[in-house]
A and B are shown apart, each in its own frame.
Chain A
Amino acid sequence: MLRFSFIFRGRGVAKRFASSFSNESALPPNLLLPTNLVDPDRLKRPPPPADSSLPPLRKCDAAVPAHLTPVQTWVESLERQDSEPLGVAQLHPDVFAVPPRLDILHSVETWQRNYKRISHAHTKVRSEVSGGGRKPWKQKGSGRARHGSIRSPIWRGGGVSHGPRGPTSYYYMLPMKVRVQGLKVGLSSKMAQDDLHIVDSLNIPTPDSQYLLDLIRHRHWGESVLIVDVGEDFSENILQATANLKTVNVIPAIGLNVHSMLKHEAIVLTLETVKFLEDKLLWHDERYTPLYPFKLPYSDFP
């Protein structure tokens, strides 16, 4: 059986760096530990148990297959730094509990990096270098090696025989279903590693960036947070708070992509975002092959 070694609750990582001498302190002062080390001392809130009796704040709209159970997570609030979770939400297992296909994640990530790439490296071939039309000296009798032009590749200043030729495009498209599965695998991986947080709405009391940073540090969400919301109107407070922050970013739900999910440690979704993502991502499991491009109207496009 494939062993998923994501959640590795070993001994506290800090103890491994402790010196065996009892006089010295537990941790050396100049030790820099990365924040995403799994350390039970951080006391992250454990996910709600599968059979919790709390009534869910949000149920799955789409039908859940009979052999799967919905994923349960806490719904939190950004209003106060130390507020308790508001309740439990149920998420669809076909979006948030998909088997972790790292090969799909890798291929979608490389596609995202490369499909926009146009390399402008260009060298001149011997016919493009100026000059070199005339035979420099006669074929026989001069005592020097025979040459046909002064711009041949063996000459200094000559053309490059097999160099990069012109702007080359690295454009290719992965199949739509592979890209959709990449999103599902990314969301499931974040959920499995306790890095996905559901929030009821993005209303924060102050437009202060420090409030967000304190909140993230208090709740041990990680170094970088990606906040996703549906629609184009965001509240002024959250926009102002994240404007000057490099590691905390707000994006609309249509902008969710595998690269951003991998780049940020934690992802925060609102309840409307979860509904939007489930609608859009689950539609691909039950759609026909396109009769005409999906940009044109269909009667029940999500």
Chain B
Amino acid sequence: YLNSYMHKAWLGPSSLCCRTPGAPVSAAGLRFVSDAAPEDNRSPIIESTEEYKYVERLIPSSRIPTPPKHTGPTPSGWIPPADSPPSLPYMIRRSRMHNIPIYTDVTNSNRKLTLIRKVEGDIWALEKDVRQYLQEVTGKELPTQVNEVTMTLKVKGHFDKELKDWLVSKGF
């Protein structure tokens, strides 16, 4: 007796599902998408690309922008390179973020090195000038290492600030 009662209750929703579309189901309170009023002329799906611009303006750029024109040092301390390269036998390019390519390194916690990268031209003349400048600044003869293949210059000790100011004063 109970089983048949449950069976009818269970069959109830299924009969609702099998009814013809168009008859609203108010008993269960459900409204299926297929029961919407039948539209005779279904308009085709239109793709609109007008809102794409809101996404496209968020996509980041992949290129580093050139900095705006400054005459002299900026408030942050960045100094732009001179308009024409200095007339020296060597040239030191700026890094891709427009900074002077001088880096410090510490190995074995007590070996300090200063590395000058991106050198072009006569690297030995640069080495001579660097040694002479650091001799004036520190009074010591500092060992340097020139790598002609990679065109880099290593100096023993941390002299990045002094060498950066010196290179900027030269106009690199």
Contacts and interface: CB of A to CB of B under 8 A. Distances in A.
B124 to A, nearest CB: 7
A155 to B, nearest CB: 50
A67 B62 contact: no
Interface string B149-171: 10100000000000000000000
Interface in B23-64: 56, 59-64
B60 A298 contact: yes
A287 B96 CA distance: 8
A286 B96 CA distance: 6
Contacts of A294: 62
B64 A99 contact: no
Nearest to B124: A1
A286 B63 contact: yes
Main secondary structure of the interface of A (DSSP, over half): loop
A22 to B, nearest CB: 47
Q: Chain B's interface: helix, strand, loop or mixed, by majority?
A: loop
Interface size class of A (residues with CB under 8 A): 20 to 34
A134 to B, nearest CB: 57
Contact of A1 (B59, B62, B96, B122): B122
Contacts, number: 48
B143 to A, nearest CB: 21
B149 to A, nearest CB: 6
A62 to B, nearest CB: 11
A294 B62 CA distance: 9
A287 B63 contact: yes
Contact of A287 (B56, B64, B85, B149): B64
A127 B7 CA distance: 63
18 contacts: A1-B122, A2-B148, A2-B149, A66-B84, A67-B85, A67-B91, A67-B120, A283-B62, A287-B96, A288-B61, A288-B63, A291-B60, A297-B59, A299-B61, A300-B61, A300-B62, A300-B63, A301-B62
Given A1-B122, A297-B59, 16 more contacts: A1-B124, A1-B148, A2-B149, A65-B85, A67-B85, A67-B120, A103-B149, A285-B96, A286-B63, A286-B96, A288-B61, A288-B63, A288-B64, A290-B62, A294-B62, A300-B61
Interface of B: 56, 59-64, 83-85, 91, 93, 96, 120, 122, 124, 148-149, 151
